[in-house]
C-alpha cells in the first residue's frame, strides 16, 4: 500500500489539531499564533451556527457546557455533508448517536434539539404545494382535503414548544405532545398543538388520495369506536377549518 503523501499527512494533522487541539499537536513549523486563528475561526463558526439554530438549548446551558457540546461534536462526529445548512442536522445526529449523556443532562435534551432543528429544516425546505390541483375554498366534508407539503407533524414525550429558562420539565407528560409545524405562503413559520384525535385526522388526510373529509371522519369514528359520530364530524369540520386558516390544509383536491 502506498504511503500517504506528505502534504496529506500535514492536512490530516492540521484537521486533527483544529478538531481537538488538546490531544493533537499542531503540524510542525507553523507559528502557534497563526494556528490559533484557525482554531478560533472553525470553533466560533460552528458555535455561532449551532447557537442560532438551537437558541433555547443554548440558553438552558451554561457557556462552558454549551461550548463542551460543540467541542465534542467536532471531535467525535464524522459529518456526511459539506453543506453549511446541513450541519445542525449533523449535530442532532451526534446527540442521538454519539454523545454520552451526563447525569445532570436534561431529560428532554434530544427532543428539544429535534424540535429546534425541525424549525430550521422547514424554513429552508424546497418543498412546495401545487396550487393548480387544489381548490383553496373547497368544502372539506364533500371534497378531498389536501395537507400542505410544508406541514410537518411530530410527537414528543415532553412539551418542547414551551420549554424555556423558566420551564424545564423533569418528567415527560402524561400524554404525548403532538405538534404540527407549518410554513405558510408568506414563508412565515408557525406551530399548532394537536390533540390525539385531530392528529390522527391529519395523518389520515396526509395518507389519503380519494376519500372525502366526511368519509375520513366516519372512518376515524369507527376506528376509535366513537359513540357520537355526528359530534365527531362536527368537531372534525371545525378542526379542518382551523388547520386551513393556518395553511396546514390548503384546500380540497380538484378532481375534474
134 & 243 share domain: yes
pLDDT, one tens digit for every residue, the chain (256 residues): 457 766 677 777 777 777 877 887 777 777 778 777 888 888 899 999 999 999 999 999 999 999 999 999 998 898 888 788 899 999 999 999 999 999 999 999 999 999 999 999 999 999 999 989 999 999 999 999 999 999 999 999 999 999 999 999 999 989 999 999 999 999 999 999 999 999 999 999 999 999 999 999 999 999 999 989 999 999 999 999 999 999 999 999 998 7
Is residue 119 in a domain? no
97 & 146 share domain: no
Is residue 161 in a domain? yes
169 & 207 share domain: yes
Burial of 120 (0-12, 13-18, 19+ CB in 10 A): middle
Is residue 122 in a domain? no
Is residue 114 in a domain? no
88 & 134 share domain: no
- Count of structural domains, the chain: 2
132 & 101 share domain: no
180 & 83 share domain: no
134 & 244 share domain: yes
The range of the structural domain enclosing residue 190 comes to 128-253
CATH code, 36: 1.10.150
86 & 16 share domain: yes
Residue with cell string 400542505: 148
202 & 140 share domain: yes
Amino acid at each position: 500500500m502506498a504511503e500517504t503523501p506528505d502534504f496529506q499527512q500535514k492536512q490530516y494533522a492540521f484537521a486533527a489539531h483544529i478538531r481537538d487541539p488538546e490531544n493533537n499537536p499542531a503540524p510542525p513549523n507553523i507559528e502557534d499564533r497563526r494556528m490559533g486563528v484557525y482554531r478560533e475561526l472553525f470553533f466560533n463558526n460552528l458555535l455561532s451556527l449551532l447557537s442560532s439554530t438551537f437558541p433555547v438549548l443554548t440558553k438552558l446551558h451554561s457557556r462552558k457546557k454549551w461550548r463542551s457540546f460543540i467541542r465534542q461534536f467536532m471531535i467525535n462526529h464524522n459529518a456526511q455533508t459539506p453543506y453549511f445548512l446541513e450541519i445542525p442536522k449533523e449535530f442532532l445526529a451526534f446527540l442521538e448517536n454519539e454523545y454520552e449523556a451526563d447525569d445532570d443532562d436534561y431529560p428532554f435534551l434530544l427532543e428539544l434539539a429535534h424540535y429546534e432543528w425541525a424549525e430550521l429544516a422547514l424554513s429552508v425546505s424546497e418543498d412546495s404545494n401545487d396550487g393548480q390541483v387544489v381548490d383553496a375554498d373547497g368544502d372539506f366534508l364533500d371534497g378531498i382535503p389536501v395537507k400542505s407539503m410544508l406541514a410537518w407533524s411530530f410527537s414528543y414525550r415532553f412539551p418542547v414548544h414551551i420549554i424555556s429558562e423558566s420551564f424545564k420539565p423533569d418528567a415527560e407528560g402524561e400524554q404525548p405532545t403532538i405538534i404540527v409545524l407549518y410554513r405558510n405562503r408568506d414563508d412565515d413559520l408557525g406551530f399548532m398543538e394537536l390533540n390525539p384525535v385531530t392528529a390522527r385526522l391529519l395523518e389520515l388526510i396526509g395518507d389519503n388520495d380519494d376519500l372525502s373529509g366526511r368519509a375520513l371522519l366516519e372512518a376515524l369514528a369507527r376506528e376509535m369506536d366513537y359513540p357520537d359520530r355526528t359530534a365527531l364530524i362536527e368537531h372534525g369540520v371545525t378542526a379542518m377549518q382551523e388547520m386551513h386558516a393556518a395553511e396546514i390544509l390548503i384546500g380540497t383536491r380538484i378532481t375534474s
